[in-house]
Structure 1
Amino acid sequence: MRLVGYGDRLSVAAGGEVAFRISAEHPQVRPEIVRLRRGGGPRHGSALVEEPVAADLPDTVPGRVQHTTSGSFVETDPVPARARVGLALWFRPTLLADERPLIAVGPLVLAVSAAGLVLRHGDTVLAAPAAPVVERQWAFAAAVVSGSGTRLTLHRPGAAVVEALAETGAVPVGGPLRVGSSGPSGPGLGRTFNGGVARPVVGDAWSPDVTEALAGGADALALLDPATTCALDLGAEPGGTHVPDRGGLTTGGTVHHLPTRGVPGPFWTGAERDFRASPAEFDALHLHDDDLADAGWDTDLTWAVPAALPSGVYALKITAGADVDRIPVVVTPAEQPEHPAHPAPVLVVLPTWTYLAYANWRTYAEYETERLTLYGEDRGIDERDRWLAAHPELGRSLYDVHSDGSGVCYSTRLRPIVNIRPDYYTPTTRGFRHFAQDLLLLDWLDGRGEDYAVVTDDEVEQQGLALLSRHRVVLTGGHPEYCSAGMLDSYLAYTRTGGRLMYLGGNGFYQVTARHPGVPDALEIRRGHAGVATWVSDPGEEHLSATGEPGGLWRMRGRAPNVLAGVGFTAQGFDKGSGYRRSEASADPAVSWVFDGVKAGVGEVFGDEGPGLGGAAGDELDRADLTLGTPADAVVLASSVGHSAKIALVPEEVDHGYAAPPPGLHPKIRSDVVLLHRPGGGAVFSVGSIAWSTAMSHAGGDNDTARVTGNVLDRFKES
C-alpha cells in the first residue's frame, strides 16, 4: 500500500479532536472528511456509499513514508560508567536463530543465538562458551568483566556448568540498561530477543560464589551492595509499563511494546496458576520481536470535530493519484452535561473490541492455500492482506501467533489496521463481516429514517449504564464477541431497569477481555483452554495481566451469553447460510407481532436468501439453552434449518461420555431467534447469527429478515 494511515482513537465525541498519522509514497496527499453510509465495493456486489462533510482541513498535506519498528524490551535510565561490571539473568529462548541480545549496558551486550551465548563489547567478542542452549528451557547466564579478565557462565538444566574465561583489560561500560535489546534498530521486526526473561541483575563485578548463589535463586540484594546494584522486578505491576529497581542503581525500567506479562518464571512450582497468589514465582516477561504497542508515527493533521456534527461513522479519506485510504472514526454524541441534547431513542454499539481482536488478522494471506480446503472453493483475499503479510512489524491479531509460535494476547489500535475499512473484503463470508457489515445496519436504519446515535465498546466500557439508559433501544453490531465484566454488567442492568436490547449478531459476549491499564489503547485476552481458538494459553498464563482475572470464555466463569441474551455460541461454518423455520410458539398473540408482514407462517421458512453466504443463519450461530442460563420464559420464535455437514459444533458444545452422538446433523447446530422480557419492562431480542444483518440488506432491505427486525425495533421503541 502506497498510502495508509491511522487515527489516535476509534471514536471521539462531537466537539473533540482526533489526530491522524499518514504514510504516503506520494509528494502530496489530499485529505477530506466523509460520512460512511454503507460498506461495500466491487467484490461485495454493492457499492460503498459515502458523503462529503465540510471540515476545516488543508487542501493537501505533504507526503512522507513513515516506518515502524516492533519488538518488546525493557529500558532503564543510564547506568554510571564503570570498568568493572557484572551482568546476570534467567532466560528461556523460544526462537533460536540469529543472534539476539539478552541484556546490555551501553556497548556491553550479552546475546544468544542458535550457537549459544556470546559477550560483546561493541564489535569485539569478549567471550563465547562452546555450549548450546535449548529452546523453551530456562537457563541462567552471568558475565563478569573486571580488570583481571572476563568470566561468562552458563547454567543449564541437567547439564554441567559451562564457563568461558578470557584475558581482557579494562572495558569501559556505561549507558542505558536494556533487557531484550541492545539499542535502536532499523524499520521492521525488532532485533529483540524472543523468549522469557527473569531476574536481571547489574552491579559491580562479583565473585564466582555470587554467580553460583544467583543461579540457585538467591536474592541479588542479599549478596551485593544494594546502592550499586540494579535488580529489576519484572513481575511487579504486570498491568503497567514500569518495573521497579529493588536496588539503587537506576530509577526502574520502562516496558516497551507489550511483552506478555503475568507469566511464570524459572522458579515456578506449578502450585499456583494465578500470579496474584504467588507473585514471586511469576517474575518473568515473554518478549517477542513482533510485539507492538504503538506504531509511533508522527501526526500529519488533526480534525476538530464540530460540536453540532450528528453522531455516526465518519472517515478521513486520503487520496493521492489512484491510491485511496479511509481511516474510520466514530463520532459519538456531544458531551454537554450542562445542556444535554435530547438523546436519540436508538443507540447502536459498534463492537470495536471485536474489530481490534481481529485487527490485521494475517491468516488470509499467510494460509491462503489452506483456506481452499476450509471453504471448498477459492474465494480470494483482499489485496491489502498481502501488503500486511509483508509488514509483520505492524502487529498481529488476537487470532495469530507470534514469530516464535506463542499466542498473541494484546492488540493495539495505534497502528494501521487494514481490515477496519468500509470496503474490506472478507473471504470467510464472501464479502461482508465486522466493520463493513455493521455499516449495512446503519444504512438500514437510515433507510427507515431512524433517529439513532452511534458509540463503540469503549464508551460502554467507560460510561456503562449511564450511557445505555439514555436510550430506549440499544442495538449491537453483528459480532460483539469480546467484552469485559463491566460491559456485561451494564447490559444486564440496562435490561433489568426497563431498557430494550436487540442483539443482532452471533458469537456475542463470549471472550473475557480487558483494557490494558498501562497501555489504554490496547486490549488483552488469554485464550485459556476452551472455545474456538487458534492457540491456547501456556501453563500458568491463563490470567489477564491487566486485571488478574482468569481469561478464556465467560461461559467457564458462570456467565454464559445465554444469561444476558438468551442465546449463546454453539456452532460455526462458512460454506453457506440458511433460513429459519417459525416455531409453534411464534403464533401466540403475545409475540406474533414480530412476524407482521412476513409471508412465512408457522412451520414455514424465512430468511433463506441474502448476499455473501446466502441466508440469515450463517457464519457463527447461537442457540437457546436453559442449562446455560436462558431465562425459562424466553420464547424461541424461530430456529434455523438446512445447515450442511460443514457446520460444526464449537469445542465446548461437543458431547462427552460414552454415548454416540445422534445421527445426522447434531440438534445443537442451529441458530435460535429469541424474545424475552425482564421485570421492570426491559426486553431482549436476539437473532443468534452473525449473517443476520447482512441478509437484511437483500433486495434493498425488502425482505423478511429486515421486516422481523423492523417490527421488533418499532415495538421496543414505542411500548
Structure 2
Amino acid sequence: MRIVGYADRLSVRAGAKITFCVSSEHAAYRPEIVRLRRGGSERHGTALVEEPVEAGMPRTLPGRVQMTTSGSFAEAGPLGPADELGLAIWFLPTLLEDEARPLLAVGELVLEVSAAGIALRRGDAPQATLAVPPTERCWAFAAATVDTTGAVRLTLHRPGMPVAVATSAAVPEPVAGTLRIGSDGTTTGGLGRTFNGKVARPVVATTAWPEATTAALASGADPLALLDPDGTSALDLATDPGGTRVPDRGRLTGGAVIRHLPTRGVPGPFWTGAETDFRRAPAEFDALHLHDDDLADAGWEPDLTWSVPTDLPSGVYALRTSADGDVDRIPFVVTPARHEAPVLVVLPTWTYLAYANWRTYAEYETERLVIYGEARGVDERDRWLAAHPELGRSLYDVHTDGSGVCHSSRLRPIVNLRPDYFTPTTRGFRHYAQDLLLLDWLDRRGEHYAVVTDDEVEREGADLLSRYRVVLTGSHPEYCSAGMLDTYLAHTRAGGRLLYLGGNGFYQVTARHPGHPDCLEIRRGHAGVATWVSDPGEEHLAATGEPGGLWRMRGRAPNLVAGVGFTAQGFDAGYGYARSAASTDPSVSWVFDGVGAEAGEVFGTEGPGLGGAAGDELDRADVTLGTPADAVVLASSVGHSQKISLVPEEADHGYAAAPPGVHPKVRADVVLLGRPGGGAAFSVGSIAWSTAMTHKDGDNDVSRITGNVLDRFRDHPGPVLGEQ
C-alpha cells in the first residue's frame, strides 16, 4: 500500500470536524470526499458504488511517508543529576531473545535482560553483567547500584535459587535523564525496542543502598520504609489500572505516564491467588504486562481537517486518496444533526475494531486451508499488513510473546476496514463491506434512514434510540458494553422495534478504555470461541474492573435482547431455512407475504459468498437462556454439514453421547417477539442473512421477509404480532 491513512474518529456529527492522517510514497495525492453506497470489488463479483461529494477539497496534497513505533512502557522525570543511584525491579520475561531488552533506565544508565542474563550499561558501555539466564514466565528480581566512587553491584534474585551477584568498577559520573520502565528511550522504527513481559515494584533512589536493602526489597519490603522518600521513586503500578498515569509514593518524581496500553490489572510477584479481582486486593495486582507491539496511537501528523456540512445527509463516507493508480478510502460515518428519519442503522464499529488488522489470513494462510478445505486466497493488503507489525493487532491475535491482545485502537490504519476488502472466511463480504450491502438494500427500497455507530449508542444510550421507530443492527454486533445491552433492551421495552440482522451478536464483554477513549478492551476469560484465553488472575477488564468473557456467563445471554444467541459456526457454505408451522398463524404470517415457501418448505438457499442465508455464525432460540416463552420461531436452518460445529459453551456435558450426525443445536432460528407497549424484536440468526438479501438485486425471499418486517415495524402503530 503506497498510500494509506486513518481518521481521528470513525463517526462525526454533521456540522462537526474530522481530521485525517495520510502516509503516501507519492510526491502528491488527490483527496476527495465520497459517499459509499455499496461495498464490493471485481473480486467480490459486486461493484463498489461511491458518489463524489462537493467538499471544497484541495486539488492535491503533498505526500510524505509517516512512520509508527509500537511498544508499551512507562516514563517519568527527568531526574538528576545524581552522583549515586540504585535501581530495582521485579520482572517476568515472556519472550527472551539474544538482543537485550530494557527493564529499567535512568537516562543512559540501563538495567536490561536477555536470554544470556542481565546487565547494567551506561550508553553502549557495559558496567556489569550476570550470565545467569532468567526463566521465561517466572518472576525474578533485579537490582543495581552505582556509588560515588563508580563501584557497581548487580544482583539477581530468583525465588528458590541462589542469589547471583556481580561487582565491577566504573568511572564515576553523575546520572541524569528520564526514568523509564521497559524502555531506554531508543527507537528503531517498527516494533519498539521494549521489554516483553511483566514488571512490578520499580524502585529508583539517589543512593547506592547496601546489599541488605536489596535483600529486603526482594522479600517484599516497602522501599519507603528503607530509603529516604525525598530521594526515592516507588511508582505505584497498581493504582488506577484503567488510567494512563501512575502516582509515585516517593517524592523523587511527580508520577509516570504509561505509553501504548500495556495490559494492566495483572497479578504481581506477591499474588496469593486468594483473589482474582484486582479491585479487592489491589496491592497484589501491581504489574504491567509490556509488549513490543502494543499500540494506542500510530501518532501520525494530520494532513487534512474537514468541516462536515450541517446539511450533509447521514450515511457512510470516506476520504478517497489517490495517486498514480493507488487508492485508499478512509471510512467514517456522518451521524445526523437532526433526528428526522424513522429508521436508524447502527454499524457495529466495536466489532470492526475487535477484528481490526486481523493477521490470520496472510500469516496463517496454510493453516486456513484446513478450515476451508479450499484455497480462497487473501486480500493483498493483508500481505502488506504482515510486513508492518507496528500497526497493531486485532483482539483475535496474540502478541509477539504469545499472550493475547486485549486492546484495539482506531488511531491507526486499519486495512480490513475498507469497502472493497475481500474476506476469505466468507469468500468475499464480511463486517464493514457486508454492512454497506444493507445500506444499498435500504437505498433501493427508498428508505429514509440515518446511520450511527456503536460509539453513539454507548455514549447516548436509550435517548438516542428513542428518537427512532425502528433500529437495525449490522451483520455482526458481537462486542458490546453493559450500557449498550441495556439500551437495546430498554428500546424494545419502551415500544421501540429492533431488527437484529446478523449472528453472534451481543456476545463479548467489552469496554471503552477510559485513559484512551479511542481504544477498546476485552478479556477473553475461559469460555467461548477464542484464539487465546486470559492468564490466571487476568479475567477482569482494567477499564472497568468487571469480569470479562461472555455476557452469557454473567447471566446476560444475547437471547434476552434479541431472542436468539450464538450456537454454531462454520465456513464451508451457506444454507437455507425451513419455514415453521407456527409461522402460518395469522398473527405472524404477514412476515411471509410474497414468499412462496409454505410450512416445512425451504427458502434462502442462494446468495453471494457462502451461497445461502444461514451461514458463517449462527444463533438459535433457547428459553433457558432468556428467549421469551411467547417468542415465535418462524424458521430454522436445515441441511448443515458436519463442518458446522457447536461453539464451546453449547457443548453437551455429562456421560451421555452426543446425538449422531449434525447436532440439533446446529441451526439458525428466525425469531419474532413482542414486548408490552408495542415493542418488538426480529432476529434472523445468521451473519450471512444480509448478504443473501442482495441476491438477484434483492428479488429474493430473504429480502422480501426482511422488507415485510421493516414495513410492519415502521408503520404499524399497534402490537406487531397480530393480524393485518
Q: What TM-score, normalized to structure 2? A: 0.98
Q: 2:488 aligns with which of 483, 486, 491?
A: 491
State the one-letter code of the partner of 1:388.
L
Deviations 1:291-317 (A, max 9, x none): 000000000001110000000000000
- Tell me the distance in 2 between the aligned counterparts of 1:280 and 1:386: 44
Match of 1:392 in 2: 389
Structure 1 residue aligned with 2:479, among 482, 485, 504? 482
- 1:305 match: 308
Q: What is the identity, as a one-letter code, of the residue corresponding to 1:454?
A: V
Q: Secondary structure at the match of 2:488?
A: helix
Which residue does 1:338 correspond to in 2?
none
C-alpha contact (below 8 Å) 1:147/1:168 kept by paired residues: no
Sequence identity of aligned pairs in percent? 76
Deviation at 1:130? 2.2
Of residues 329, 342, 347 in structure 1, which corresponds to 2:344? 347
Matched letter for residue 174 of structure 1: A
Contact 1:357/1:397 (<8 A) preserved: yes
1:153 aligns with 2:150: no
Which amino acid is the alignment partner of residue 39 of structure 2?
G
Unaligned segments of structure 2, at least 5 residues: 717-724
Amino acid at match of 2:119: V
What amino acid is the match of 1:83?
D
2:538 is aligned to: 541
In 2, distance between residues paired with 1:515 and 1:167?
Answer: 50
Distance apart, 1:147 and its partner CA = 2.6
Structure 1 alignment gaps of length 5 or more: 335-340
Are the equivalent residues in 2 in contact too, given 1:128–1:152 (CA < 8 A)? Answer: yes
Structure 1 runs of 4+ with >4 Å offset: none
CA distance in 2, matches of 1:713, 1:57: 38
- Residue 144 of structure 1 corresponds to which residue in structure 2? 145
Q: 1:141-190, CA deviations, whole angstroms, 9 ceiling, x for partnerless residues?
A: 00000034100000012210000011223132111000000003021000
Pairing 1:261–2:264 present: yes
> Which amino acid counterpart does residue 72 of structure 2 have in structure 1?
S
Determine the structure 2 residue equivalent to 1:337. none
Q: Per-residue CA shift, 1:353-409, capped at 9, x if unaligned? A: 000000000000100001111100000000000000000000000000000000000
Alignment match, 1:48: 48
Aligned equivalent of 2:131: 130
Aligned equivalents of 1:329, 1:666: Cα separation in 2: 41
Q: Deviations over 1:514-552 (max 9, x none)?
A: 000000000000000000000000000000000000000
Q: Counterparts of 1:599 and 1:610 in 2: how far apart (Å)?
A: 17
Partner of 1:110: 111
Query: Can you list the C-alpha shifts for 1:647-681, whole angstroms capped at 9, x where unaligned?
Result: 00000000000000011110000000000000111
Contact 1:692–1:705, Cα closer than 8 Å, also in 2: yes
* Alpha-carbon contact 1:146-1:169 (below 8 Å) kept: no
Task: Spell out the pairing of 1:447-462 with structure 2 (5 A cutoff).
Answer: 447-462=444-459
Q: Quote the residue 2:603 is aligned against.
A: 606
Aligned to 2:199: 197
Distance in 2, matches of 1:59 and 1:602, equals 59
Q: Given the alignment, which residue of 546, 552, 555 partners 1:555?
A: 552
2:697 counterpart of 1:697: no
Q: Does 1:509 align with 2:509?
A: no
Q: Is the 8 A contact 2:294 2:392 kept in 1?
A: yes
1:210 aligns with 2:207: no
**In the alignment, which residue of structure 2 is the partner of 1:579?**
576
Q: 1: distance between equivalents of 2:185 and 2:713?
A: 59
Supply the distance in 1 between the matched residues of 2:436 and 2:498 (Cα, whole angstroms): 19
CA contact under 8 A between 1:126 and 1:150: conserved in structure 2?
Answer: yes
How far apart, CA to CA, are the structure 1 residues paired with 2:170 and 2:439?
Answer: 71
Q: Distance in 1 between matches of 2:452 and 2:148?
A: 64
**2:466, 2:339 → 1: CA distance?**
13
Aligned counterparts of 2:573 and 2:513: Cα–Cα separation in 1: 37
1:184: which partner in 2? 186
1:266-290 deviation per Cα after TM superposition (whole angstroms, max 9, x unaligned)? 0000000000010000000000000
Task: Work out the CA distance in 1 between the residues paired with 2:201 and 2:310.
Answer: 51
How many Å separate the matches in 1 of 2:178 and 2:170?
A: 23
- Measure how far apart 1:342 and its partner are: 5.2
* 2:235 corresponds to: 232
Matching residue within 563, 567, 587 for 1:566? 563
Distance in 2 between residues matched to 1:414 and 1:150, nearest whole Å = 43
- Distance in 2 (CA, whole Å) between partners of 1:605 and 1:512 is 35
Cα deviations by residue, 1:221-244 (Å, 9 ceiling, x for unpaired) = 010000110000111100000010
Aligned counterpart, 2:720: none
1:68 alignment partner in structure 2: 68
TM-score normalized with structure 1 length: 0.99
Instruction: Tell me the amino acid that sits aligned with residue 221 of structure 2.
Output: A
Could you tell me which residue of structure 1 aligns to residue 32 of structure 2? 32
Q: Which position in structure 2 is the counterpart of 1:241?
A: 244
Q: Contact 2:408–2:521 at 8 Å: present in 1 too?
A: yes
Which residue number in structure 2 is paired with residue 276 of structure 1? 279
Look up the SS of the partner of 1:502 in the other structure.
strand
- Structure 1 partner of 2:326: 323
Deviations 1:244-263 (A, max 9, x none): 01100001000000000000
Give the partner amino acid of 1:166: S
Q: Secondary structure at the match of 2:365?
A: coil
Matches of residues 77-96 of structure 1 in structure 2 within 5 Å? 77-96=77-96
The alignment partner of 1:42 has SS state of coil
* C-alpha RMSD over aligned residues: 0.6
After superposition, give the CA deviation of every residue in 1:613-636 in whole Å (9 maximum; x if it has no partner): 000000000000011110000000
In structure 1, give the amino acid aligned to 2:178.
P
1:369 is paired with a residue whose SS is helix
8 Å CA contact retained: 2:564, 2:671: yes
Give the drift of 1:439: 0.2
Name the aligned partner's letter for residue 109 of structure 1.
V
Contact 1:48 1:423 in 2 (8 A): yes
1:397-416 correspondence runs (5 A): 397-416=394-413
Letter in 1 for 2:359: R
